[in-house]
Amino acid sequence: MTELTKTLELKLVDPNAHKRRKLREMREAYQHALQDAFDAGCTTQTEANDVVINYDLSGYAKNALKKYVPQLTTTYNAGELHDDHPVRFTNEGLRLDHKPENAIEWYVKIPHHEDYDLWMPAQPNPEQRGWLEALNAGDATMGESRLFERDGTWYLHVTATRDVEECSEVPAEERTPIGVDIGEASLVTVCHRDDHGSPTAPELWADEGKTVRRLRKTYFTAKRRLQRRGSERIAESFGDDVWRQIDDVFHRVTREVVQYAESVENPVLVLEDLTYIRESMDYGEFMNRRLHGWGFAKLHAQIRYKAVEKGIPVETVNPRNTSKECHACGEVGYRPRQATFKCTNDACWMDEYQADVNGAINIADRYLSGESRPREHTDGNDSAEDGGRLTAPQDAQSDAETQQETLGTYAS
C-alpha cells in the first residue's frame, strides 16, 4: 500500500454578484486575521487562536490559520507577508456534491462563517475526475484546501489522499488486455482472450443496464411532471435520490469490473478514449451507442480510480468502429438486433456473436495492436469536460506542499 496525495484543481463557475461579494468578504477577513496574527508574532496555535477568534470566519478557516501562522513565524521564518495568500480551510472543510443531471456536474460547499456556507458549481480539471469520484464515494480523504482569485476567476485547490497498490513491473506486451465496453443494453461488458487467443469469460452487466435505464426514465418523467406543477424543490431532491441510486449501481459494477481484472494474470484494463470518441463519431452515433455522455465518463472515472487502488494499469485505445467490426476477421458487419453482431464476410468462420462481447474483444485487441492513445488528454475543448489545466498563484509554502504529489504516473 502506498499513500497517494494530489492537489485537485477546481474552477468556480460564474459566481453571481452576491457570491463574489461573499467570497471577497471572506478573503478580506482572512487576510486581516492572518496579518494580525502574524504581526502579533504568534508562534503557537493557542496564541494564534486568541487573535483569529475575533474574526468573522468559519471554524475551518480559523483552524487553518492557527496551524499556518506558527509555521510562518517559526518554520519558514517569513520576514513579511505576501498580500495574495489563499484562504485556507482545514481537512473536510469543503464538501463536494455531484449532480450528473446538471450541465455543471460538480458543486462545492465553501464554509463562509459560522453557520453560513456557499454552495457553488465548480469545474474540475477533467484529468482528475477519478479523484472526485473517489472523494465523492468516500474512497479518498479530503485534506486542506485553498481558495484564491486570479484574473477575476476563483479557484479551489483541494488536497486529497487515498491508498493505492503499487503497479507490478510486468512489461506492457506481456499483459493480458481486458476490453471494457460501455453500452446501452449491457451497462458494461468485459472480455479477454485466453492463452490460445480465444475470447473467454465474457461478463455482462445487462440487468444493471436495465435498472439504470428505468431510473433515468423515472427521473425525467417525474421531473417534467413536478416542474409543470412548479415544484422545483421536490424535483431536485427527487433527482438527487434517483442519481444516488444510479451512482450506487455504477459503484457496484465498476468494483466488479476491477475484481474481474484481479482474477486475470497480469491484467491491463482497456477503455475507449473519450476524447477520441468525440473527435471520430458524429453526435447521433455517439448518443445512440452510449448510455449518455455523463454515464460514460463517470463509469470510466470510477473504473480508473478503483483499478489504481488495486495496482491494475488502465490504458485507452482508439474507439473507432469497435462496435462495428468483427473481432474474428476485422470486417465491418452490422447489428440485426441490439444484442447481436453479424459478420457479413463469407470467408469468416463467425456468423453471429453477442454484440457487446464482440465490442469488448475489439477494444482488448487494440491494446495489442498498439492502437492505444497516450494517457494525457488533448486539451479539452469540449464543453462537457472543459476545465483545462488550472494553475495557481501560490506562496512558496503551498508550492512546496503541492510538490508532495507522489507517484505522478498514476495521475487519473
Residues that bind Zn ion (CB under 5 A): 326, 328-329, 343, 345, 348, 350
Q: How far is the CB of 358 from Zn ion (least distance, A)?
A: 9
Task: Measure CA of the first residue to CA of the last residue in the chain; give whole Å.
Answer: 18
For Zn ion, the closer of residues 348 and 368 by Cβ is: 348
Q: Is 390 helix (H, G, I), strand (E, B) or coil?
A: coil
For Zn ion, the closer of residues 101 and 356 by Cβ is: 356
Q: How far is the CB of 342 from Zn ion (least distance, A)?
A: 9
For Zn ion, the closer of residues 243 and 353 by Cβ is: 353
H-helix or E-strand spanning residue 112: strand 106-113
For Zn ion, the closer of residues 313 and 359 by Cβ is: 359
Q: Tell me how far apart the alpha carbons of residues 205 and 190 are, in angstroms, rounded to a whole number.
A: 9
Q: How far is the CB of 332 from Zn ion (least distance, A)?
A: 10
Q: At a CB cut-off of 8 Å and minimum separation 6, what does 84 contact?
A: 148, 393, 395
Residues 136/98, Cβ–Cβ less than 8 Å = yes
Q: How far is the CB of 377 from Zn ion (least distance, A)?
A: 33
For Zn ion, the closer of residues 304 and 324 by Cβ is: 324
Rounded to the nearest 10 degrees, what angle do helices 17-39 and 59-70 cross at? 30
Q: How far is the CB of 181 from Zn ion (least distance, A)?
A: 18
Q: Tell me how far apart the alpha carbons of residues 331 and 348 are, in angstroms, rounded to a whole number.
A: 9
H-helix or E-strand spanning residue 300: helix 293-309
For Zn ion, the closer of residues 323 and 412 by Cβ is: 323
Helices (H), 229-292: 232-262, 274-280, 283-289
Q: How far is the CB of 371 from Zn ion (least distance, A)?
A: 19
For the chain, the residue count is: 412
For Zn ion, the closer of residues 57 and 343 by Cβ is: 343
Q: How far is the CB of 276 from Zn ion (least distance, A)?
A: 24
Q: Tell me how far apart the alpha carbons of residues 228 and 224 are, in angstroms, rounded to a whole number.
A: 6
Phi, psi of 157 (to 5 degrees): -115, 120
Q: Tell me how far apart the alpha carbons of residues 260 and 172 are, in angstroms, rounded to a whole number.
A: 19
